[in-house]
């Protein structure tokens, strides 16, 4: 009989940045990028279709736009890289507000 492996789902912490706006979000590592966009929609009232999220390191875009259908864990975020004491940085671009997607 195969052993059941139980893995706890961990919480991830993000700082979503757009210009001078910084939003702190905590969510589960099993959630998808689209779920993160839905949380942002609740705060900024901007549809997920009009948002683009991308990885940021040291305040600079590092060339990776996040895919809506990918799990946050599969996008390279973990409880080691997105901690409460040091949240992972994510950039936000909004369609129709002076920033092309």
Q: Specify the pLDDT at position 7.
A: 60
**Boundaries of every domain in the chain:** 11-94
Tokens 């920033």 appear where?
A: 99
40-87 tens-digit pLDDT: 999 999 999 999 999 987 767 777 899 999 999 999 999 999 999 999
pTM of the model: 0.82
Q: Check the CA dihedral 78-52-24-87 and report its sign.
A: positive
**CATH number belonging to domain 11-94:** 3.10.20.90
In order of 3, 31, 90, 96, the CA distances from 12 in angstroms are 28, 10, 12, 29
Q: Check the CA dihedral 94-95-97-98 and report its sign.
A: positive
Looking at the predicted structure, is the pLDDT value of residue 100 above 50? no
Query: Kind and range of the H or E element at 12?
Result: strand 11-18
């Amino acid at each position: 009989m195969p052993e059941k492996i139980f893995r706890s789902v961990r919480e991830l912490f993000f700082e979503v940045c757009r210009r001078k706006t910084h939003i702190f979000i905590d969510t589960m590592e099993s959630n998808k990028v689209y779920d993160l966009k839905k949380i942002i929609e609740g705060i900024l009232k901007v549809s997920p279709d009009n948002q683009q999220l991308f990885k940021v390191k040291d305040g600079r875009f590092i060339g990776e736009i996040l895919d809506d259908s990918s799990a946050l864990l599969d996008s390279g975020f973990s409880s080691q890289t997105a901690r409460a004491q040091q949240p992972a940085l994510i950039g936000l671009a909004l369609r129709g507000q002076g920033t092309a997607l």
